[in-house]
Amino acid sequence: MEIVERFLKYVSFDTQSSEENYETTPSTDKQFALARYLVEELTAIGLTEVEMDEHAYVYATLPANTDKPIPTIGFIAHMDTSPDASGANIKPRIVENYDGKDLVLDAEAGIVTDIKTFPELLDHVGEDIIVTDGHTLLGADDKAGIAEIVTAVEYLIQHPEIKHGKVRVGFNPDEEIGMGAHKFNVEKFGCEWGYTMDGGELGEIEFENFNAAAAKFEITGVSVHPGYAKGKMINAGLVAADFINRMPANETPGTTEEYEGFFHLTGMSGSVENASVSYIIRDHDRQRFEERKKFVEGVVAEMTREYGEGVLKLTLKDQYYNMREKIEPVMHVIDIIKAAMLAADIEPKVRAIRGGTDGAQLSFMGLPCPNIFAGGLNFHGPHEFLPIPNLVKGFETVVNIIKITAER
């Protein structure tokens, strides 16, 4: 199946982004390789205005094939994979006619995706699904979205009897570190609205997401010979541990759900002289989000009084905001998604994202941009899998959105 082969080709590229390189776009040079490949592919299938800018953002156009005035819409997906798990040397495998039992990914290493831990597998009994070998993530987040978009526009080129307006596609780096939309050229994209294909399970529609910030704490200690350190040493590693202990233990990703926000420890390193701690801060409610940031600032201020000036340095940076306030005035874009899914025999499922998407940032940049399922599950780790029927339905949804936009 062409869409499957396309997806498997995309995951052969290691495009892992890096939280250590926020100031560079893309955060890893290896993302350029997939960007260049997409430029070649989009040109080969017949799109126009195909280009890649200096930051690895790829843009292209499916020209209108009718004189009827139709809004220009866009479809967007990200090329990078999560820093949480390796994206190098991915070895995908297709499990045909999944039987509902635990999935052995690597028997020798004892790596198993078990249905007790991952009961969502049971929703896909009898389907062909793509899995990993247990040592990397798969990359359905978001290479499934790219495959669905590319296959959809290719299909429309091959079927000129389906009338449509101008459609733009955009593929960007660094979504997984919250920086994917920061250098997206909304003006050049030139759309009235857009859609990111970056959700999970079949039928998901998301236009509400976390407000998000990244916090990094750099700690400078005082190193003294341990035999003579009393009253003099400040152990940066212990200061980092002290900071972590002051964070709410019941407000983490592992202890919250639905609309509950959290503080998430994403990285730590240290020695006596220097240490660093990284957190991400999330909440759907804007007021509670601001309160969370003030709480962190308060902890730093309290510890500074205890340890002294210059020991702790906090860098706090907002990443994106809840897109709901930008989508509600243009709810027809949601109505079109629902109609497109129903036309593909998909039950629409509106839900809030316990995370973020490039569409959130783009919505605040003037491009209303809700998020649609891409079909994969268990993102960011070796138990990620992609039901092939979900991939096909994603492609059908994109085609239907384009058709319904033209009809309305």
Q: Among the options 80, 198, 358, 384, which is catalytic?
A: 80
CB-hemisphere CA count at 13 Å for 268? Answer: 13
Q: Are 164 and 336 in contact, with CB atoms under 8 Å apart?
A: no
Indicate if 80 belongs to the active site.
yes
Nearest to 148 by CA among 332, 335, 344, 334: 344
Indicate if 96 belongs to the active site.
no
* Two tokens, residue 334: 């949601």
Nearest to 31 by CA among 146, 120, 131: 146
Return the H-helix or E-strand segment holding 389.
helix 388-407
Q: Among the options 175, 206, 251, 384, which is catalytic?
A: 175
State the angle between helix axes of 2-11 and 388-407 in degrees (0 to 180), rounded to the nearest 10: 110
Helix (H, G, I), strand (E, B) or coil at 200: coil
39: alpha, beta or left? (left if phi > 0; alpha if psi -120 to 50):
alpha
* Two tokens, residue 384: 């990620």
Four-residue CA torsion sign, 201, 367, 17, 354? negative
Provide the annotated active-site residues.
Answer: 80, 175
